[in-house]
Amino acid sequence: MNKDFVAGMKAALPILVGVIPFAMISSVAAVSVGLSFVEAMGMSVIVFAGASQLAVIQLMSAGSPWIIMVLTAWVINLRFTMYSAALAPDFQKLATWRKAILAYMLSDQAFGLSMSHFVSTDEKLDHRWYYFGNALTIWAVWQLSAIIGALLGPLVPASWGFDFAFPLSFTALMFGSLRDRPTVIAALTGGIVAVFGKGLPYNLGLVLAITSGIAAGYWSENYKNGRVMK
């Protein structure tokens, strides 16, 4: 087995502590709003994006219009275009069908693990295999955990409170990514807006937090590079 693939798999293991409950609660939430096991798993496999899955499920429970659900999921998942752009140089020579598979498995965790390793080490490794190793591991564990969550959904009391899974899944990645001023400003802006926008209807606070964080980080990056007036 390719050594870089194995290295990627090993790197993903600590992150699974947050991925497992995150996937389980996503399926539990899907079942709780009336989706069947097949529908819940269909969402998990096809969408494979926990944050947008939970946002849409919350909107479903509130009886929101379908267009709000679609736009919310779209905005939340816009970050993957930036992830893809950052990873593209390493994958541009691959066949289109291989790119499609790797793009489908892209997640916050896989991107964070891969990019953090790429920029923090001088060792020679095949970035494609390293990414594939951790992305596949995260995807497989997510789907297995989602199956368990969908099966046990009706039996899991709401009082168990799996909310800890969401920040746990991203905290390590977030702190590892705060390497310069633009990323710090983006994180702070998004966090502050999310807190103050928590009470907005249709989960719009999350949408505003994401767009504000992206805009603040983009402006800071341009300011640092002298592309805006100081």
Q: Is there a single domain that holds both residue 25 and residue 111?
A: yes
Q: Is there a single domain that holds both residue 44 and residue 152?
A: yes
Q: Is there a single domain that holds both residue 32 and residue 128?
A: yes
Q: What is the pLDDT of residues 18-68, one digit of tens each?
A: 888 888 888 888 888 889 999 999 999 999 988 888 888 888 888 889 898
182 within some domain: yes
Burial class (CB in 10 A: 0-12, 13-18, 19+), 124: exposed
148 within some domain: yes
170 within some domain: no
Q: What is the dihedral of CA 99, 105, 107, 113, to 10 degrees?
A: -80
Euclidean distance between CA atoms 113 and 151, whole angstroms = 30
Euclidean distance between CA atoms 36 and 34, whole angstroms = 6
172 within some domain: no
Percent of the chain with pLDDT over 70: 83
Q: Is there a single domain that holds both residue 54 and residue 149?
A: yes
Q: Which residue has the higher pLDDT, 187 or 94?
A: 94
Where a domain ends, among 138, 164, 190? Answer: 164
Residue from 209, 188, 214, 189 nearest 198 by CA: 209
Task: Using only the alpha carbons of the chain, give its radius of gyration.
Answer: 18
Q: Which residue has the higher pLDDT, 89 or 166?
A: 89
Where a domain ends, among 119, 141, 164? Answer: 164
pLDDT recorded at residue 214? 86
| Exposure string over 68-102, b if 16+ CB within 10 A, otherwise e | bbeebbebbeebbeebeeebeebbeeeeeeebeeb
pLDDT recorded at residue 158? 47
As for how many domains the chain has, the answer is 2
Q: Which residue has the higher pLDDT, 125 or 38?
A: 38
pLDDT recorded at residue 143? 96
pLDDT band at 95 (very low <50, low <70, confident <90, very high): very high
Q: What is the pLDDT of residues 148-193, one digit of tens each?
A: 989 987 666 545 544 544 554 555 555 555 666 777 888 889 889 9
In which domain, by residue range, is 107 found?
Answer: 3-164
**Mean predicted lDDT score pLDDT of the chain:** 83
pLDDT recorded at residue 171? 56
Report, as an integer, the average pLDDT of 195-211. Answer: 81
Residue 38 has, within 13 A of its CA and on its CB side, a CA count of: 0
173 within some domain: no
Q: Is there a single domain that holds both residue 70 and residue 133?
A: yes
Residue 116 has, within 13 A of its CA and on its CB side, a CA count of: 18
94 within some domain: yes
34 within some domain: yes
Q: Is there a single domain that holds both residue 160 and residue 183?
A: no
